[in-house]
Amino acid sequence: MKTSFSYEGIKKKGYKVTRQREIILDILRKANVHLSADEIYIKAKSRSPGIGLTTIYRTLEMLYNLGYVNKYDFGEGRARYELNDTMVETCKHHHHLVCLRCNRVIDYTDFVPQETELITKTISGISRKYGFKVQTHIIQFYGICKECQKRKNKNGRL
Amino acid sequence: MKTSFSYEGIKKKGYKVTRQREIILDILRKANVHLSADEIYIKAKSRSPGIGLTTIYRTLEMLYNLGYVNKYDFGEGRARYELNDTMVETCKHHHHLVCLRCNRVIDYTDFVPQETELITKTISGISRKYGFKVQTHIIQFYGICKECQKRKNKNGRL
DNA sequence: TTGAAAATGAAAACCAGTTTCAGTTACGAG
DNA sequence: CTCGTAACTGAAACTGGTTTTCATTTTCAA
Ligand SMILES: [Zn+2]
Ligand SMILES: [Zn+2]
Ligand SMILES: [Zn+2]
Ligand SMILES: [Zn+2]
């Protein structure tokens, strides 16, 4: 555990830097997918077998309250987490494409031209119209991914 | 229960029109907010005390599979449902502003012009780049509503 | 070094949602 | 209008993710 770049923010808020939290943060930092609490637990256990699932949840909540992780619901009945760009400079803000057939989630950061600009304008428009101060947003497109389009349509709403 | 305008779609798919389903549909039709399964259950029970929560869940799932209701997660740990515009002509497609302090959810249908442009361009961009066929989307802005901005900031991430 | 506040892990509790199953109902074929 | 059957129902048990409880341990500023 060498990179201590973000621990200051944690200490400043009165939270303590523990071995468990270092491990969880490291796992999140290295992940390039959205992890569930349970997936983090498995990974953490292999490094520190005594760690408890409760600690995973508590740490994720702390990081969420600090605004360091995003928490997503892709309709699987459990949350998924990822460090956001306030924490990791390599993690760029992105949106999601969720396949309704295979449940795969595609992140995309390479927004179509003008998308970023349009979002900025939309946010300021919302602020003007509704007096609502936007902090974050979630944009998810649901549909059928390229691979699934090749397969035969099975039952369901798809 | 007079309005039977949408029951044909249900029958056509091999589902039966039962008294319970009529009640649930009627509750959804009259609601002007997003209801949770439990809230629907309370309302339904006052009309038909014998109704079971299981039936609420099963009916909502059926309606979701038929594409008649939208299912949302606003981070409360339970789903919320509403009839969409395929079912109710008065219900227009909308996006959400979720207040992080008071948890109120504001629907808005009068998008700022840039927002409509954003959606159109993004969907066609996604189709071109990823071969992803978009069916629906969810756009939620999280922040602080007008009323809460007047109040003092308490602890938390806000 | 040390003490108070914070964090930990195990176990139990919690709770939205699902499954099971025996009895009931809708509804189309006849 | 029967009738048979597939669909539907409600109660109860169950599931699985998340939270709470509590006794013990750890962090870290003074
Ligand atoms: Zn964005
Ligand atoms: Zn797919
Ligand atoms: Zn939209
Ligand atoms: Zn508010």
Closest CA to B135 of B70, B81, B91, B89: B70
Neighbouring residues of the ion ligand 4, judged by CB less than 5 Å? B 99, 101-102, 104, 145, 148
> What residues in chain A have per-residue pLDDT under 50?
1-4, 153-158
pLDDT score, position A89: 60
Q: What is the pLDDT of residue B152?
A: 55
* Amino acid identity for residue A148 in this structure: C
Quick one: pLDDT at residue B30? 92
The per-residue pLDDT for range B82-108, each reduced to its tens digit, is 998 777 767 678 999 998 888 889 998
- B129 vs A110: CB contact, 8 Å cut-off? yes
Bases of strand D lying below 7 A from some protein CB:
7-12, 16-21, 26-29
A142 CB neighbours in chain B (<8 A) are 134-138
Reduced 3-state DSSP string for B93-134: CCEEEEECCCCCEEEECCCCHHHHHHHHHHHHHHHHHHCCEE
Q: pLDDT tens for residues B31-49?
A: 988 999 999 999 999 999 9
The alpha carbon torsion through B120, A96, B60, A151 (nearest 10 deg) reads: 90
A68 CA from centroid of ligand 3 (Å): 27
Strand stretches in B8-94, DSSP E: 35-36, 69-73, 79-83
Banded model confidence at residue B1, pLDDT cuts 50, 70, 90: very low
Sequence-separated (6 or more) residues with CB below 8 Å from residue B61? none
Q: How far is B151 from chain A (nearest CA, A)?
A: 14
Map out the domains of chain A with their CATH numbers.
1-86 (1.10.10.10), 92-158 (3.30.1490.190)
pTM score of the predicted model: 0.82
| pLDDT greater than 90 at residue B58 | yes
Instruction: Spell out which residues of chain A touch residue B131, defining contact as CB-CB under 8 Å.
Output: 145-146, 149
Say if CB A19 and CB A39 are below 8 A apart. Answer: no
pLDDT of residue A39: 97
